[in-house]
């Protein structure tokens, strides 16, 4: 029954390298486990392996490496044999646990620290080997189904050890296992308390910095379960106590009983502590769980953890104190204002209604011993947070009365808190109480203003409000405050006075009217003015060499009070004692490092007086000048401004928190009562600076102007009063010296002012320039595109106009050709008519020779000889007549007939004459026509030549067209080059945002379009021959269009790039903000943990380690999330986010990488922008060249055509002339 | 804050089908067109009235992504009801329903009530899964079915009350063992008194 054959194969397949003897034995044991067919044998082998590992620490690594498969196989297959399982689990625990330092020391292994380090590393590596082995964690979780105690217990131990070694990995594996967290959660329902308690610790380790596990546990009702456990154990403890009390005192000795009581109590307190720790881990930094915590009504259940009723404070154990502290910290995390406000407000209300606030107040005011002062501090902090920005809670809390521990009379709890602030032995508690009281007073003056009311009542000497407890308490507090300010040394110590002064001064700062009310206030049996009392207290402190903080407190109060309140200054200066006291304080040679602050603040009070217009100002000026000296005076103020304490208060807001005092508590301090030297807070710093700057100019002016006056004054006074002229001279010369010093100083300051001004201006200019550059950068590409677009439009318009012109020219040519044809047709018809006429003429000539015979001969006779023709005819007619007269017989008749004949002859002759004339005309016309014809033919010849010429020109055109076509081809080539470049660009774009598929898709599409366009251009290129000019324009238009398309695509790409970048930047910024917030929060948490360490070193150590783990885990988590965020934003498709877990990189590196990544992106983008602009320029240039060529050619053609037309016109004109 | 019963619901379904929007619409009555990807699980709560009883619904909105599947599985066991959501404009989300249901059946208590929800029915023009198909699937697996729009709030309230009512009916019929392992339902402080009163009334009516 070899169940482990699979594992056997694995082990057998390992390369047998040269193992050490230990290694060999390890292998032998593992072989035995694999080879053994009986479970007993396997068990024995395991036992031996455990012994080996226990003995030989160095073998652990090898055992883990070689055995992990086998062990997992055992867990899987040997389930029926519990003992085997338990042994395997024990072995695994051994492998992943760090060796304790005592053992190392015992065995003298290497150097102790090195050995520790090595053991930690081995444990870590073994953890990884085991956890990363597929199915290992799942197998462990499945084994939890077994009810067996030792199996469950060992699994819990093993998982806890694994989580301690590599929390993130193990958490991940448990989350990946189906319902893994749920299975662990079920362990809490185990009836065996040991298992349950161990499971609580395991869950605490599991949910640390693991929000998902936290939420799953919340879903599984962990909150209620925890409170159930706490409640039942508290009840159990009470029951046991009662039982012990009840049992007979005689049989059981008191001490035994007490010890028993103590033991059960401690056990239960530890259990409660573990529960609280788990709750704390579940709620910290998890808004969703906090919300669920409230939803499930768990906040009121906190009450039982905070309830001190029936508990003797002196009997509270350290563990109980720690539990209280933890419970209060839990509460603090629920009401921390820095998160969601609406939820927090609800939490606060709930805390008040459920009695938690009251319980917190009781804890805060309870007299805990100094070792547990942190409980009080946390209670004060919780109390403060519960009231902050929550008027109802504040009114409620301040109305609560408690019994005064000494006098046993009920007093307001705020009053009691102020008492604690004034008297407590722990500086941290004092500060925490002060912060609470300050919050109450400062928020009170905004609505009820009981401070003023109390002063009024005091002045009118009537009773305080008693009908309203809240008002009453606040008014009592106000009066106690005043008493404390002047109470030194009998009623208040220096720290109490300091805190009272700070509170009063902050109050006056917020409440302008308070200054006058306070001024009218008289106090004490003698009803002296409060201001006078204050100064007397100060003077007493000065005389008795009291603590610096006392003096500083009163001086700060005075400066705030006097600031911009002339009445107060008046009253202040009216006493002869005040000014000398201040002068003395300011000029006394410092004996202690704190004295510079006292001196400076005394100078500040003087400065405040100087800044206020009063009657005695001149006196003040001269006193300052003569007794202190202006330079010295300013130097005193400067010394404070230069001190670290002042700078600290100026630069950081929350530099002083009670926790820092807890830390400092161990070191001896100058002022034990106050516990710190942070005398300045932001309000006093602000006041100081205001006074300082307003006086800086004024003092200089006063010095300059008052010099002359003073001298006059001094002269007069010299005659009147002063006798000691020497002293006067001395003082005068000193004044002069000071004056010159001041002059130099002034000039330097002026120069510096100027320089600063200049620097400011330069800075502004630079900023402006940067902004402009940014704008330009943004708009440049757009402008460029716009301008090219415009230019293209213009060119296009011009092209079209030229095209039109050409068309016109063509029309004209066509018209002229038609005209020519018509003319030619006319010519032909004329010539035809001419020949017709000739033939007719011939005919006529033939006719006339038949009739007259002679006429033909006379055909050539010109019309000018017309008169000669007639007589000849007459003679011929005469001849006819003679012939007729030769007929004798019928002479008369014949004569008549001859007559008629003669007449007829005459008629005929006339007709002939007419005809002849007509013939003559025609003949001349024919001649002319012939001449014309000849000319016409010549003309034709010439036209033919011209036509041939034009044919040649046409050939020339065709040649040039071919050239153009070639150029077009070149152009295409170049365009394809551009296309290549475009593709390169698009590739770069791809690199840039490898994520965005569609971004890549865009240029591809445009290239395809480009291809199509170029193919189209190929297809229509044959048309070029037919229609040269139009094709040119089409070509140009096409070029323009493609350019436009490219420009547009680039613009869109560019815009998208910028938008993406913006988004990315925005997201980064947000993420970084979040990160920095959490980092700050963590730091605070880390600090607080340090203090826990102080109060309880052992527990604190663990806590601190945990916290360190927290920190790094959070960094890791945040880093992962930011990485996943980056990858998600890269992918544009959020489905693939945060699946990968990257290696350890510091978060700052991450940040820097992110920044550099952004810079890279920007660089690349700008590169692209450059390339785009270059490409545009190139295209533009190309286009210009092409256009110029085309335009030149068109121009040439137009010119030639024009020439042709003019020639034709000339010819036409000639023809017309000829025709005419 | 007192309630008769508390029901725990989970919302499951592919990434981007509008689970978080459904929850937001139900609890806050608002619609957020661009919702961040849910990481892990978000939580929301609302009180509804049923037969004069106050029933508190705790709704856990899970992440639909595959990488969070093992985390989502941890929530099945403690839930009384599940809203299985798909997107009617994306068929693949409908195709994955069987896987989801299988998962739910495997890890949840057998008494868990599942309501099938076809979300985004305002986008009728992009519909890829017909209502009939959804109904057929629901019928085949014995689920209730509703088409909703988290954008217009159409049927959102009804979906949750439908699920709550189904569970409530089961309780009334005694089908759910409230004292046993079933964790999805908690009996509140007021539930018992009401039940007692009812019993008394029943007895009285019986007497009369």
pLDDT reported for residue A1047:
78
Region B126-151: mean pLDDT is 94
Residue B45 CA to residue A505 CA, distance in Å, equals 48
Asked if residue B176 is part of any domain, the answer here is yes
- Domain count of the fold of chain A: 5
Asked if residue B171 is part of any domain, the answer here is yes
Q: Which pLDDT band holds residue A10 (cuts at 50, 70, 90)?
A: very low
Give the other-Cβ count within 10 Å of B105's Cβ: 13
Instruction: Identify the top-confidence range among A112-121, A799-808, A873-882, B70-79.
Output: B70-79
Output phi, psi for B113, to 5 deg.
-90, 130
3-state secondary structure A1082-1102: HHHHHHHHHHHHHHCHHHHHH
Structure tokens at A255: 């001490």
Residues 197-226 of A with CB under 8 A from B: 211-212, 215-216, 218-221
Residue B184 CA to residue A212 CA, distance in Å, equals 19
pLDDT tens track for A1125-1156: 555 554 444 443 344 444 555 677 777 888 88
Does position A876 have pLDDT exceeding 70, yes or no?
no
Q: Which pLDDT band holds residue B41 (cuts at 50, 70, 90)?
A: confident
pLDDT reported for residue A854:
42
Torsion sign over Cα A692, A697, A701, A703:
positive
Does position A163 have pLDDT exceeding 50, yes or no?
yes
Domain carrying residue B129: 5-203
**3-state SS assignment for residue A591:** coil
Asked if residue B100 is part of any domain, the answer here is yes
Does position A721 have pLDDT exceeding 50, yes or no?
no
If you measure CA to CA, which chain A residue comes closest to B186? A221
Asked if residue B120 is part of any domain, the answer here is yes
A254 shares a domain with A196 = no
Region A1042-1070: mean pLDDT is 81
Q: Given B15, B73, B75, which is nearest A219 (Cβ)?
A: B75
Domain stops at, among A216, A250, A280: A216
Region A1184-1211: mean pLDDT is 88
pLDDT tens track for A532-585: 889 888 999 888 888 888 889 999 999 999 888 888 888 888 888 888 888 888
pLDDT reported for residue B208:
37
A994 shares a domain with A927 = yes
**3-state SS assignment for residue B151:** coil
pLDDT reported for residue A860:
45
Break chain A down into helix, strand, coil percent, rounded to 5: 80, 0, 15
Across the interface, whether the CB atoms of A178 and B42 are under 8 A apart is answered no
CATH value at residue A518: 1.25.10.10
More confident residue, A849 or A281: A281
Q: Picking from A309-318, A431-440, A721-730, B89-98, which range would have the lowest pLDDT averaged per residue?
A: A721-730
Residue A162 CA to residue A168 CA, distance in Å, equals 10
Does position A1097 have pLDDT exceeding 60, yes or no?
no
Torsion sign over Cα A195, A200, A203, A205:
negative
A242 shares a domain with A197 = no
CATH value at residue B179: 3.40.50.300
A182 contact residues in B (CB cutoff 8 A): 74, 77-78
pLDDT tens track for A40-94: 888 888 888 888 888 777 788 888 888 888 888 888 888 888 888 998 999 899 8
**Is A1135's Cβ below 8 Å from some Cβ in B?**
yes
A811 shares a domain with A921 = yes
Does position B84 have pLDDT exceeding 70, yes or no?
yes
Instruction: Quote the minimal CA–CA distance from A1077 to chain B in Å.
Output: 20
Contacts of B127 (CB under 8 A, 6+ apart): B88, B89, B121
Burial A100-130 (b: 16+ CB within 10 A, else e): eeeebeeeebeeeeebbebbeebbbbbbbbb
Tell me what percent of the residues of chain A surpass a pLDDT of 70.
78
**Is A295's Cβ below 8 Å from some Cβ in B?**
yes
pLDDT reported for residue A1140:
42
Across the interface, whether the CB atoms of B43 and A291 are under 8 A apart is answered yes
Q: Given A295, A297, A1139, which is nearest B67 (Cβ)?
A: A1139
A340 shares a domain with A236 = yes
Query: How much is the mean pLDDT over chain A?
Result: 78
- Domain count of the fold of chain B: 1
Domain stops at, among A395, A428, A455: A395
Region A1013-1021: mean pLDDT is 53
CATH value at residue A767: 1.10.287.2610
Does position A488 have pLDDT exceeding 90, yes or no?
no
pLDDT reported for residue A97:
85
The answer to whether the beta carbons of residues A171 and A214 sit under 8 Å apart is no
pLDDT tens track for A807-835: 887 888 888 888 888 877 877 887 787 77
The answer to whether the beta carbons of residues A811 and A1200 sit under 8 Å apart is no
B183 contact residues in A (CB cutoff 8 A): 220-221
Asked if residue B208 is part of any domain, the answer here is no
pLDDT reported for residue A1004:
56
Structure tokens at A952: 């040649």
Domain carrying residue A1033: 1025-1088+1148-1219
- ipTM computed for the complex: 0.87
Q: Picking from A1052-1066, A1199-1213, B126-140, which range would have the lowest pLDDT averaged per residue?
A: A1052-1066
Across the interface, whether the CB atoms of A178 and B107 are under 8 A apart is answered yes
Q: Which residue stretches of A521-565 are H helix?
A: 530-543, 548-562
Asked if residue A20 is part of any domain, the answer here is no
Does position A497 have pLDDT exceeding 50, yes or no?
yes
Q: How far is CA A405 from CA A168, A410, B23, B166, in A?
A: 51, 9, 54, 61
Size (chain A), residues: 1220
A606 shares a domain with A657 = yes
Q: Which pLDDT band holds residue B126 (cuts at 50, 70, 90)?
A: very high
pLDDT reported for residue A871:
46
Q: Which pLDDT band holds residue A1115 (cuts at 50, 70, 90)?
A: low
Across the interface, whether the CB atoms of A178 and B183 are under 8 A apart is answered no
Instruction: Quote the minimal CA–CA distance from B16 to chain A in Å.
Output: 9
Region A214-227: mean pLDDT is 90
Instruction: Quote the minimal CA–CA distance from A425 to chain B in Å.
Output: 44
pLDDT reported for residue A1:
42
Region A3-10: mean pLDDT is 44
Name which of A837, A838, A908 is nearest A870 in CA terms. A908
Does position B43 have pLDDT exceeding 90, yes or no?
no
pLDDT reported for residue A989:
67
Q: What is the pTM of this model?
A: 0.61
B67 contact residues in A (CB cutoff 8 A): 1138-1139
Across the interface, whether the CB atoms of B73 and A179 are under 8 A apart is answered yes
Instruction: Quote the minimal CA–CA distance from B51 to chain A in Å.
Output: 23
Instruction: Quote the minimal CA–CA distance from A494 to chain B in Å.
Output: 51
pLDDT tens track for A338-392: 766 677 888 888 898 888 999 999 898 888 888 888 899 999 999 999 998 888 8
pLDDT reported for residue A1066:
85
3-state secondary structure B73-136: HHHHCCCCEEEEEEECCCHHHHHCHHHHHHHHHHHCCCCCEEEEEEECCCCHHHCCCCHHHHHH
Query: How much is the mean pLDDT over chain B?
Result: 85
pLDDT tens track for A395-417: 998 888 888 777 788 888 989 99
Residue A240 CA to residue A245 CA, distance in Å, equals 8
Instruction: Quote the minimal CA–CA distance from A128 to chain B in Å.
Output: 21
């Amino acid at each position: 029954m070899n169940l482990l054959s699979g594992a056997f194969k694995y082990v057998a397949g390992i390369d047998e390298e040269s193992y050490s003897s230990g290694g060999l034995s390890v292998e032998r044991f593992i072989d035995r486990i694999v080879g053994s067919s009986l479970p007993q044998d396997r068990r024995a082998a395991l036992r031996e392996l455990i012994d080996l590992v226990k003995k030989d620490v160095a073998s652990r690594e090898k055992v883990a490496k070689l055995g992990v498969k086998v062990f997992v196989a055992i867990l899987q297959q040997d389930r029926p044999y519990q003992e085997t399982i338990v042994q395997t689990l024990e072995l695994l625990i051994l492998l992943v646990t760090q060796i304790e330092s005592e053992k190392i020391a015992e065995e003298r292994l290497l150097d102790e620290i090195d050995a520790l380090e090595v053991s930690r590393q081995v444990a870590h590596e073994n953890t990884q080997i085991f956890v990363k082995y597929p199915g290992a964690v799942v197998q462990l979780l499945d084994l939890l189904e077994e009810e067996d105690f030792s199996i469950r217990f060992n699994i819990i131990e093993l998982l806890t050890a694994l989580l301690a070694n590599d929390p993130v990995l193990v958490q991940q594996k448990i989350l990946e296992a189906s319902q893994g967290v749920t299975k662990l959660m079920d362990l809490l329902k185990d009836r065996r308390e040991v298992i349950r308690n161990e499971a609580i610790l395991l869950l605490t380790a599991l949910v640390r910095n693991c929000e998902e596990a936290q939420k799953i546990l919340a879903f599984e009702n962990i909150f209620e379960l925890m409170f159930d456990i706490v409640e039942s154990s508290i009840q159990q403890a009470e029951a046991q106590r009662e039982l012990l009390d009840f049992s007979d005192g005689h049989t059981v000795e008191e001490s035994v009983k007490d010890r028993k009581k103590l033991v059960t109590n401690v056990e239960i307190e530890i259990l409660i502590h573990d529960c609280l720790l788990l709750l704390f881990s579940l709620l910290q930094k998890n808004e969703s769980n906090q919300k669920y915590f409230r939803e499930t009504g768990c906040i009121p259940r906190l009450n039982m953890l905070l309830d001190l009723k029936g508990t003797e404070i002196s009997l509270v154990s350290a563990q109980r104190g720690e539990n209280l502290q933890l419970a209060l910290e839990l509460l603090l995390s629920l009401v921390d204002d820095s998160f969601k406000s609406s939820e927090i407000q609800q939490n606060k209300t709930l805390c008040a209604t459920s009695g938690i606030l009251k319980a917190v107040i009781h804890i805060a005011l309870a007299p805990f011993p100094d070792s547990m002062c942190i409980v009080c501090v946390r209670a004060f902090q919780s109390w403060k947070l519960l009231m902050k920005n929550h008027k109802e809670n504040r009114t409620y809390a301040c109305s609560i009365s408690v019994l005064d521990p000494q006098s046993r009379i009920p007093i307001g709890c705020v009053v009691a808190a102020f008492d604690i602030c004034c008297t407590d032995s722990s500086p941290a508690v004092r500060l925490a109480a002060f912060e609470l009281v300050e919050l109450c007073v400062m928020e009170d003056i905004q609505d009820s203003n009981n401070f003023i009311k109390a002063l009024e009542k005091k002045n009118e000497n009537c009773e305080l409000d008693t009908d309203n407890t809240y008002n009453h308490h606040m008014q009592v507090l106000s009066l106690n405050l005043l008493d404390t300010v002047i109470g030194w040394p009998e009623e208040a110590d220096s720290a109490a006075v300091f805190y009272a002064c700070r509170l009063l001064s902050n109050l006056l700062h917020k409440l302008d009217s308070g200054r006058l009310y306070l001024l009218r206030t008289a106090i004490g049996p003698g009803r002296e003015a409060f201001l006078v009392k204050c100064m007397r207290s100060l003077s007493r402190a000065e005389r008795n060499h009291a603590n610096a903080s006392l003096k500083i407190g009163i001086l700060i109060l005075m400066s705030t009070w006097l600031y911009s309140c002339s009445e107060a200054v008046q009253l202040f200066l009216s006493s002869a004692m005040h000014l000398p006291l201040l002068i003395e304080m300011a000029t006394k040679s410092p004996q202690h490092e704190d004295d510079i602050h006292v001196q400076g603040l005394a100078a500040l009070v003087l400065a405040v007086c100087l800044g206020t217009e009063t009657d005695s100002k001149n006196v003040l000026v001269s006193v300052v000048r003569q007794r202190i000296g202006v330079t010295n005076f300013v130097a005193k103020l400067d010394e404070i401004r230069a001190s670290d304490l002042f700078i600290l208060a100026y630069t950081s807001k929350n530099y002083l928190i009670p926790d820092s005092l807890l830390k400092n508590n161990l070191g001896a301090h100058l002022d034990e009562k106050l516990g710190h030297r942070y005398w300045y807070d932001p309000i006093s710093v602000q006041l100081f600076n205001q006074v300082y700057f307003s006086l800086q100019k004024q003092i200089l002016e006063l010095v300059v102007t008052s010099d002359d006056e003073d001298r006059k004054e001094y002269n007069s006074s010299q005659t009147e009063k002063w006798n000691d002229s020497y002293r006067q001279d001395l003082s005068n010369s000193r004044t002069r010296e000071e004056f010159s010093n001041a002059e130099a100083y002034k000039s330097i300051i002026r120069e510096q002012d100027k320089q600063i001004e200049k620097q400011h201006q330069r800075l502004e200019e630079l900023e402006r320039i940067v902004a402009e550059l940014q704008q330009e950068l943004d708009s440049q590409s757009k402008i460029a595109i716009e301008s090219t677009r415009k230019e293209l439009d213009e060119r296009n318009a011009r092209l079209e106009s030229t095209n039109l012109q050409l068309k016109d020219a063509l029309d004209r040519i066509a018209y002229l050709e038609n005209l020519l044809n018509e003319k030619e047709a006319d010519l032909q018809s004329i010539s035809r008519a001419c020949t017709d006429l000739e033939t007719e003429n011939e005919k006529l000539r033939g006719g006339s020779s038949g009739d007259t015979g002679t006429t033909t001969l006379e055909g050539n006779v010109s019309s000018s000889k017309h008169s000669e023709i007639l007589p000849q005819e007459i003679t011929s007619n005469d001849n006819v007549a003679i012939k007729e007269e030769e007929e004798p017989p019928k002479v008369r008749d014949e004569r008549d007939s001859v007559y008629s004949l003669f007449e007829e002859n005459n008629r005929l002759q006339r007709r002939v004459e007419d005809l002849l004339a007509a013939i003559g005309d025609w003949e001349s016309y024919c001649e002319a026509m012939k001449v014309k014809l000849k000319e016409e033919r010549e003309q034709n010849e010439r036209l033919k030549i011209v036509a041939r010429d034009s044919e040649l020109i046409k050939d020339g055109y065709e040649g040039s067209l071919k050239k153009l076509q070639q150029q077009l081809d070149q152009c295409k080539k170049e365009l394809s080059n551009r296309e290549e470049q475009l593709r390169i660009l698009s590739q770069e774009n791809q690199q840039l945002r490898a994520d965005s598929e569609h971004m890549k898709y865009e240029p591809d599409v445009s290239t395809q379009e480009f291809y199509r366009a170029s193919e189209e251009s190929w297809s229509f290129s044959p048309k070029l021959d037919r229609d040269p000019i139009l094709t040119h324009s089409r070509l140009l238009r096409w070029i323009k269009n493609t350019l436009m398309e490219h420009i547009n695509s680039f613009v869109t790409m560019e815009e998208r790039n910028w938008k993406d970048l913006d988004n990315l930047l925005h997201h980064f910024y947000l993420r970084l903000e979040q990160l920095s917030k959490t980092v700050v929060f963590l730091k605070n948490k880390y600090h607080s943990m340090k203090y826990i360490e102080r109060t309880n070193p052992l527990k604190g150590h663990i806590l601190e380690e945990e916290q360190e783990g927290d920190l790094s885990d959070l960094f890791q988590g945040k880093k992962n999330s930011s990485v996943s965020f980056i990858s998600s934003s890269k992918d544009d498709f959020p489905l693939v986010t945060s699946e990968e877990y990257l290696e350890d990189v510091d978060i700052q590196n991450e940040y820097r990488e992110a920044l550099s990544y952004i810079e890279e992106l920007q660089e690349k983008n700008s590169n692209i922008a450059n390339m785009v602009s270059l490409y545009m320029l190139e295209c533009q240039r190309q286009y210009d060249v092409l256009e110029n060529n085309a335009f030149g050619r068109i121009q040439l053609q137009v010119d030639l055509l024009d020439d042709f037309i003019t020639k034709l016109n000339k010819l036409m004109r000639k023809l017309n002339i000829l025709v005419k | 804050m007192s309630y008769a019963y508390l029901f725990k619901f989970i919302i499951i379904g592919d990434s981007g089908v509008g689970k978080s929007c459904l929850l937001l619409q139900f609890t806050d009555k608002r619609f957020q067109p661009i919702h961040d990807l849910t990481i892990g699980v978000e939580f929301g709560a609302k009180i509804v009235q049923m037969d004069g009883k106050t029933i508190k619904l705790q709704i856990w909105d899970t992440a639909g992504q595959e990488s969070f599947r093992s985390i989502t599985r941890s929530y099945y066991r403690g839930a009384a009801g599940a809203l299985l959501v798909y997107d009617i404009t994306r068929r693949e989300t409908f195709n994955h329903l069987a896987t989801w249901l299988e998962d739910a059946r495997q890890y949840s208590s057998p008494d868990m009530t599942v309501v099938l929800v076809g979300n985004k029915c305002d986008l009728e023009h992009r519909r890829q899964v017909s209502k009939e198909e959804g109904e057929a699937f629901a019928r085949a697996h014995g689920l209730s079915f509703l088409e909703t729009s988290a954008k217009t709030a159409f049927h959102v309230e009804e979906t949750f009350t439908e699920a709550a009512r189904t569970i409530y009916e089961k309780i009334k019929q005694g089908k759910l063992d409230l004292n046993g392992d079933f964790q999805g339902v908690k009996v509140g402080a007021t539930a018992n008194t009401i039940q007692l009163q009812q019993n008394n009334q029943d007895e009285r009516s019986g007497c009369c």
